[in-house]
A = this chain, B = another copy of it.
Amino acid sequence: MDFLIPESLAPKLEAARAFLIDEVIPVEPDMLGSSDFYAVEPKLKELRSKVKSLGLWLPQGPEDVGGLGLSVLEHGLMSEVLGYSPLGHYVFGCQAPDAGNLEILHQYGSKEQKDRWLGPLAAGEIRSCFSMTEPDTPGSNPTELACAAVKDGDDFVINGRKWFTTGADGAAFAIVMAITNPDAPKHGRASQIIVPTDTPGFELVRNIPIMGHAGSGWASHAEIRYDDCRVPQKNLLGGEGAGFLIAQERLGPGRIHHCMRWLGICERAFDLMCQRAVTRKIDGDKPLASKQTIRNWIAESRAEINAARLAVLDAAWRIDRVGFARARVEISLIKFHVADVMMRVVDRAIQTHGALGVTSDTVLSFFYVHERGARIYDGPDEVHKASVARRILRAYEEKA
């Protein structure tokens, strides 16, 4: 057993951390203030150039598309660093949902698909979106999708309604989950299909207001109507009926990525809480840190963050070592556990800031608002708990 950060990775993490603090955080207020992605995009473009020149671009990406080729564990550690700012992942080119789409294209894309989409995506020249969740079918069970793609000549004709398609606003293409084989066994009904967003019938209905913020560009979640949306069959990704399987594979590393990002958020909230505690005066000249309740929060937060972090790294290590399928229990466990820790730590940090904590004068309220979804997307807590327990109980049933 060895808990040391890999030596080859450490300097990259340090460089990324320094860049975050020196260059990215100063840009945050532009974003937090406006909710308008396009207003801040030019600055982000500049930052991306600097990241490229530092040799830190696309940390999780394969080397053959210009990435650093980090392992799941290594990218997890990088994701933690980047999560310290809501802009971190975007600036380093590994933001959801593009990171996952890049992975899918790299692994399942045809030569033609790669030529057209993979290069520009890896270079950060275009954005993409992943269109799976539907308003009227339970997102917790992707085998119950309603959106359907029907063959017609050489094309698929897609009809359906999706929402929470992150970053659809301004994306060049969507990867759409649609039922192509309704009579197959339920895990073999859906396929993933590339749909350029300028295809007739691809209608962005609205950017859904999340806690009152519709956002824009990458920082938005769209409702989309597919209305006789016609694309060539060669836009299929990885085989008919393989949609569910690909989605699953995409989620494994994706969850490490998210969990470590959340831990980066925890670190930011923790730092803000501690800084507030030592600088805010109460009762005359005593710092807020003199209060035992604040100390309790700091101690409890530190204990919870440390433990949760190691659990995620352990799951990442398992994926690297034995593959996603044999790390499922661990991945489900961290999904709900870390989201819970994050929300608690953010909440304590807000309370430590008093009235300031609910304003947009710190990044805390941004996390409070925009990360509440963490307990819901990629499977709500309750679904993960039920499914992981079922897996765990199997061993006991066999012995019973």
> Contact mask A359-400 → B, CB, 8 Å, 1/0?
111000110110011011100111011101110110011011
Q: How large is the interface on A (under 10, 10 to 19, 20 to 34, 35 or more residues)?
A: 35 or more
Q: Given known contacts A303-B337, A313-B1, A384-B299, is B393 in contact with A274 (CB within 8 Å)?
A: yes
List which A122-180 residues lie within 8 A (CB) of chain B. Answer: 133, 135, 138-141, 144, 163-164
- A205 in the interface, Cβ–Cβ < 8 Å? no
Contacts A313-B1, A396-B274 hold; do A369 and B211 have CB atoms under 8 A apart?
yes
Whether A351 sits at the interface, judged by CB under 8 Å, is yes
B-side contacts of A209, CB under 8 Å: 33, 359-361
Instruction: For the complex, give the distance between the alpha carbons of A19 and B343 in Å.
Output: 37
Q: Mark A318-361, 1 if CB is under 8 A from B, else 0.
A: 10000000000110111011000000000000110011111111
A281-305 near B? 1/0 per residue, CB < 8 Å:
1111000010111111011101110
A35 within 8 A of B: yes
Give A164's nearest chain B residue, CB to CB: B355
Q: Is A198 an interface residue (CB 8 A)?
A: no
Partner of A397, one of B35, B278, B296: B278
Query: Interface-forming stretch among A2-10, A57-65, A99-107?
Result: A2-10
Residues of B within 8 A of A384 (CB): 299
Q: Which of A6, A33, A289, A399 gathers most chain B CB within 10 Å?
A: A289
Closest to A314 in B: B3
A277 CB–B CB distance under 8 Å: yes
Say whether A39 faces chain B, with CB atoms less than 8 Å apart.
no
Question: Which residues from B are CB-within-8-Å of A163?
Answer: 355
Instruction: Report the minimal beta-carbon distance from A327 to chain B, rounded to whole angstroms.
Output: 11
A377 touches B355 (CB 8 A): yes
Is there contact, CB below 8 Å, between A212 and B369?
A: yes
A280 CB contacts on chain B under 8 angstroms: 138
Docked pose: A196 CA to B164 CA in angstroms:
47
Checking B283, B375, B380, B386 against A292 with a beta-carbon cut-off of 8 angstroms, the contacting residue is B386
Of B279, B314, B317, B376, which is within 8 A of A355 by CB?
B376
Interface contact A310-B299, CB-CB below 8 Å: no
Specify the chain B residue showing the minimal Cβ separation from A365.
B211
Instruction: Report the separation of the CA atoms of residues A234 and B135 in the bound assembly, to the nearest whole angstrom.
Output: 60
Task: Check if B357 sits within 8 Å of A376, measured CB to CB.
Answer: yes
The distance in angstroms between the C-alpha atoms of A289 and B392, with both chains bound, is 11
A72-108: CB near B (< 8 Å → 1, else 0) gives 0100000000000000000000000000000000000
Interface centre among A33, A359, A365 (most CB of B within 10 A): A359
A27 part of interface (Cβ distance < 8 Å): no
Kindly list 12 other residue pairs between chains A and B, CB separation below 8 angstroms, not including A139-B354, A299-B392.
A1-B3, A138-B281, A141-B283, A210-B359, A211-B365, A289-B389, A289-B397, A296-B386, A296-B389, A302-B329, A310-B310, A355-B376
Which 5 residue pairs across A and B have the least CB separation, nearest first? A295-B389, A310-B310, A299-B385, A307-B307, A292-B292
5 cross-chain CB contacts under 8 A:
A138-B280, A274-B393, A277-B393, A277-B396, A299-B385
